[in-house]
Chains A and B, each alone.
Chain A
Amino acid sequence: MKRERDLGKAETAAAGKMKIWGEGQPQADAGTDELFAVLGYKVKSSDMADVANKLEQLEMAMVTTMEDGISHLSTDTIHYNPSDLSGWVESLLSELNSTGNFDVLPQRIGVPGESSSNLIGFSNDMPIQQNRKVIYDYDLRAIPGGAICSNGNDEENPSQEPDSGTKRLRSSPGSEFLDNASLAAARPVVLVDSQETGVRLVHTLMACAEAVQRDDMKLADALVKHVGVLAVSQVGAMRKVATYFAEALARRIYKIYPQDSLESSYSDVLQMHFYESCPYLKFAHFTANQAILEAFAGANRVHVIDFSLKQGMQWPALMQALALRPGGPPEFRLTGIGPPQPDNTDTLQQVGWKLAQLAETIGVEFKFRGFVANSLADLDASMLDIKPNNVEAVAVNSVFELHRLLARPGGIDKVLNSINAMNPKIVTIVEEEATHNGNVFLDRFNESLHFYSTMFDSLESSGLTQPNSEDLVMTEVYLGRQICNVVACEGPDRIERHETLCQWRGRMNSAGFDPVHLGSNAFKQASMLLALFAGGDGYRVEEKDGSLMLGWHTRPLIATSAWQLKSPE
């Protein structure tokens, strides 16, 4: 039996114990210790040596301290992560060093509803006695899971024999001790089992953001490290989101701002992966195209101005729809706008060329013009060779571009005026549905935490791609860069200034635009498109005052809206 084997080796050094633990490695999940796993704690085997070392030190400290103890540990301890034995022990050690006191930790497993106690632990039947080797007997009944056995941490007393039938645990389960009273301000929660560490993680993130908001960088620093530790114990979406947010917070705390956006070709590649791994961009393209198609009905010459051409993925579908429309295709002119390339390659022309080839294949007359601009505000309508309304129908299309203009004062107004001057038949705007542009950092943080958690969740659950496939990973990087920008940057560098549809409505209204209802065709097509995606049942298309929103479960994430110039009174 494993237990006996472990007890028998109680006197071996921690390193020796490593082998025992190592032998019991489960095959799953990054080599967590099996014995701990049975108890509900995930400790990586790579961390075991560290944990064991610390426990040994702790034991030394414990047996040499006074009885009267650190009873305050039992009330102040906030258990964030039961699997973080290392961190817990370290905090205990530091506490011991400072107080020199120690007490047994009379603890019960916290149950929901106990709001004051922030503990998790085991009931302890035996009092500690001064200068005696300590035995902890814990009632492990409440731990979910099967066999309970000694975790072999029993280092303190090599010569002691276990009582038959008692299970000995050298240490109580990891309780994270945070040595700052202000943490009491963080919502105290009671951990019942390790699934709730996710909640802990979120609360720690929020506490860290609060600290940053108050400019308490020392605390924030401690907390952000803590988040990193906690995040490791999670899996899946929660882990990734927490890691990205922790990194962004760290950047903000240490003022290591991410260098100004990477090469645009890299960000294009990232967006392509985003395009392929989840339906958001496809939804955006298809719904916008439907609006444009309907606006172009009956026009013989059409001109589309795309505010961010990238790889031009939106336009093949529109061109095909135009090619097959009753009465034949119109002459199609596309103006693509893009950022300057660092190596001076003319990506815009390349994309234009490819679209031209497609157009030729399907029999649509096609012209292309590319404009390189650092910011949309640098352009104005006169550069774009706009033809009069009766000659050519104009559509302006912006997918995830307008919010960047909010970083500089006056940018958005200038652009909206330019759009006005272009005299468009229709303006299609797709934006993220979130308030990431508030003035208060903390609000932005909380908002973006919810938003990106939902996004990552949808990636995780969609089942579209294999986990860690290139698409998924790159998509996460893509989203991670946005997170970093929202959290860590300020001023003109903070370009991911997402606003909600309501806010955009207000702006468009004051800029002289009236909403155009996206018809039922767009809705049907969008619903069908989503049904095609595995996990399509998690995605929701909602119609709101004529605009369409795509969300994950109950949370809308992106919104497509269409606009036309206000008719003159």
Chain B
Amino acid sequence: MAKFCINDNVDVLIEVLKRLDDRSLGVAACVCKTWCSLTRNDSFWEHMCFRQLSPPPEGVRAVVVALGGYRRLYICCVKPVREVREFNRVWTRHEMELSLSLFCVDYYERVLLGGGGGSGGGRLGSDSAASASLMLLCKAVNV
């Protein structure tokens, strides 16, 4: 009988990883290259964002991808909003809308205003650096 290897069953693996909390996810990402690349896959983050929301409205994916991707959305907006609400509370449409709006503002400030309109100066580099107006939200560590 062939041994069951989780890495051969990526769909199952994804299902498991989807249900992890953030810290465990960070740990999971360190396990091996497969797991790491999985957790960096944006569709994985789409699941994380919409975890409890029934099918997301149409067109969201295109917009989110254009504005920076689900991983960024999760880190910059969804997670902080969720933290304010209880973690396992149902994620409502309102919270999603707010997150998306904040995400759009973040894109505008970060990419288009280039931080020049504000005090974006101190925040360099990494792709997880949030625009100035979202810094208040970002207490999260990069997952």
Q: How far is the CB of A282 from chain B (nearest CB, A)?
A: 7
B84 contacts A by Cβ under 8 Å? yes
- Which one of A167-175, A297-305, A451-459, A524-532 is at the B interface? A524-532
Q: Cβ of A282 and Cβ of B133 under 8 Å apart?
A: yes
For the complex, what is the distance from the CA of A272 to the CA of B135, rounded to whole Å? 14
- A533-B136 in contact given A323-B63, A328-B59, A361-B107 (Cβ < 8 Å): yes
CB proximity of A319 to chain B, nearest CB, Å: 7
- Stretch of B6-14, B24-32, B113-121 contacting A (4+ beta carbons < 8 Å): B113-121
- Count of A-B residue pairs with CB < 8 Å: 101
One of A13-21, A65-73, A112-120, A310-318 contacting the partner: A310-318
Name the distance in Å between B65's Cβ and chain A's nearest Cβ.
Answer: 10
- For the residues of B in contact with A, the DSSP-based class is helix
B119 pairs with A324, CB closer than 8 A: no
| A471-B132, A524-B94 known; A311 vs B62 contact (CB < 8 Å) | no
> Does the CB pair B117–A311 fall under 8 Å?
yes
Complex: chain A residue closest to B120, CB-CB: A276
Contact indicator A532/B119 (Cβ below 8 Å)? no
- The B-contacting residues of A in range 327-370, CB under 8 angstroms, are 328, 354-355, 357-358, 361-363
| B87 interfacial contact with A, CB 8 Å | no
Q: Which residues of A contact B66 (CB under 8 A)?
A: 361-363
Any B CB within 8 A of the CB of A295: no
CA distance A469 to B119 in the complex (A): 9
Contact in complex: B104, A531 (CB < 8 Å): no
Taking CB atoms and an 8 Å cut-off, the chain A residues in 253-306 that contact chain B are 268-269, 272-273, 275-276, 282, 286, 289
The smallest C-beta distance from B63 to any residue of chain A, in angstroms, reads 5
Instruction: Give complex CA distance A357, B67 in Å.
Output: 11
Determine if A470 and B59 form an interchain contact, defined as CB atoms under 8 angstroms apart. no
Shortest distance from the beta carbon of B133 to any chain A beta carbon, whole Å: 5
Residue of A nearest to B66 (CB): A361
Given the known inter-chain contacts A269-B117, A321-B97, A532-B136, please indicate yes or no for A362 contacting B112, CB distance below 8 A. Answer: no
B105 contact from A269, A317, A355, A524, Cβ within 8 A:
A317
Q: Please measure, in the bound complex, the distance between the C-alpha atom of A275 and the C-alpha atom of B136, giving whole angstroms.
A: 12
B140 within 8 A of A: no
B107: which A residues are within 8 A, CB to CB? Answer: 316, 358, 361
Q: Is the CB of A471 within 8 A of B108?
A: no
Select one of A312, A323, A464, A528 contacting B59, CB under 8 A.
Answer: A323
CA distance A464 to B109 in the complex (A): 18
Residues of chain A contacted by B59 (CB below 8 angstroms): 323-324, 328, 363
* Inter-chain contact B94/A521, CB cutoff 8 Å: yes
Chain A residues with a Cβ closer than 8 Å to the other chain, count: 43
- Whether the Cβ atoms of A354 and B97 lie closer than 8 Å is no
> For chain B residues 98-143, which have a beta carbon within 8 Å of chain A?
98, 100-105, 107-109, 112-113, 117-119, 121, 132-133, 135-137
Would you call B80 an interface residue if the criterion is a C-beta within 8 Å of the partner chain's C-beta atoms?
Answer: yes
Contacts of B55-74 to chain A: CB distance below 8 A: 57-60, 62-63, 66-67
Interface pair B104/A320, CB less than 8 Å apart: yes
Residue of A nearest to B92 (CB): A524
Tell me the complex Cα distance, A474–B120, Å: 13
Closest CB of chain B to A238's CB: distance in Å?
24
Residue of A nearest to B62 (CB): A363
Asked if A421 is an interface residue, CB under 8 A from chain B, the answer is: no
Question: Complex formed: what's the CA distance from A362 to B59 in Å?
Answer: 9
Indicate whether A273 sits within 8 Å of B104 (C-beta atoms), given known contacts A324-B57, A363-B63, A528-B94. Answer: no
A326 interface residue, CB < 8 Å from B? yes
Determine the distance from Cα of A282 to Cα of B131 in the docked complex, in whole angstroms.
14
CB pair A320–B98 under 8 Å, yes or no, is no
A528 in contact with B84 given A320-B104, A354-B112 (CB within 8 Å): yes
Bound Cα distance A402, B125 (Å): 40
Expressed in whole angstroms, the Cα–Cα distance for A525 and B96 within the complex equals 10
Judge whether B63 and A354 touch: CB under 8 Å: no
Task: Pick the most buried of B58, B63, B104, B137: most chain A CB atoms within 10 A of its CB.
Answer: B104
Q: Is the CB of A313 within 8 A of B119?
A: no
A534 at the interface (CB under 8 A from B): yes
Does B95 reach chain A (CB closer than 8 Å)?
A: yes
Q: Which residues of A contact B101 (CB under 8 A)?
A: 286, 289, 316-317, 320-321
- Encode B29-69 as 1/0 by CB contact (under 8 A) with A: 00000000000000000000000000001111011001100
Q: Which residues of B contact A469 (CB under 8 A)?
A: 119
Q: Which residues of B contact A324 (CB under 8 A)?
A: 57, 59-60, 63, 100
CA distance A565 to B133 in the complex (A): 35
Q: Which of A311, A320, A363 contacts B100 (CB 8 A)?
A: A320
Residue of B nearest to A310 (CB): B117
A533 to B81, CA, bound (A): 10
Residues of B contacting A313 in the complex (Cβ-Cβ under 8 angstroms): 105, 108-109, 133
Complexed CA–CA distance, A363 and B60 (Å): 11
Given contacts A317-B105, A354-B108, A363-B63, contact A272 B117 (CB under 8 A): yes
* Interface pair B84/A531, CB less than 8 Å apart: yes
Is B81 within 8 A of A362, CB to CB? no
CB of A194, distance to nearest CB on chain B (Å): 33
Write out the residue numbers on chain A whose beta carbons fall within 8 Å of the beta carbon of B103.
Answer: 320
Contact partner, B118, options A273, A532, A534, Cβ 8 Å: A273
Instruction: Choose among A275, A316, A470, A533 the residue with the greatest number of B CB atoms under 10 Å from its CB.
Output: A316
Query: Which chain B positions have C-beta within 8 A of A529?
Result: 98
What's the least CB distance linking B96 to chain A, in Å?
A: 10
**What is the bound-complex CA distance between A269 and B102, given in angstroms?**
20
Q: A311-B117, A528-B81 are in contact. List 6 more A-B contacts (CB 8 A).
A: A272-B118, A316-B104, A320-B104, A328-B59, A524-B94, A532-B81
Top 5 A-B pairs, shortest CB-CB distance: A320-B104, A317-B101, A316-B108, A354-B112, A470-B119
- Can you spell out 9 A-B residue pairs with CB atoms less than 8 angstroms apart? A311-B117, A326-B58, A354-B112, A361-B107, A362-B63, A525-B98, A528-B81, A528-B94, A532-B137
Q: Mark A residues whose CB is within 8 Å of B.
A: 268-269, 272-273, 275-276, 282, 286, 289, 311-313, 316-317, 319-321, 323-324, 326, 328, 354-355, 357-358, 361-363, 464, 469-471, 474, 521, 524-525, 528-529, 531-534, 536
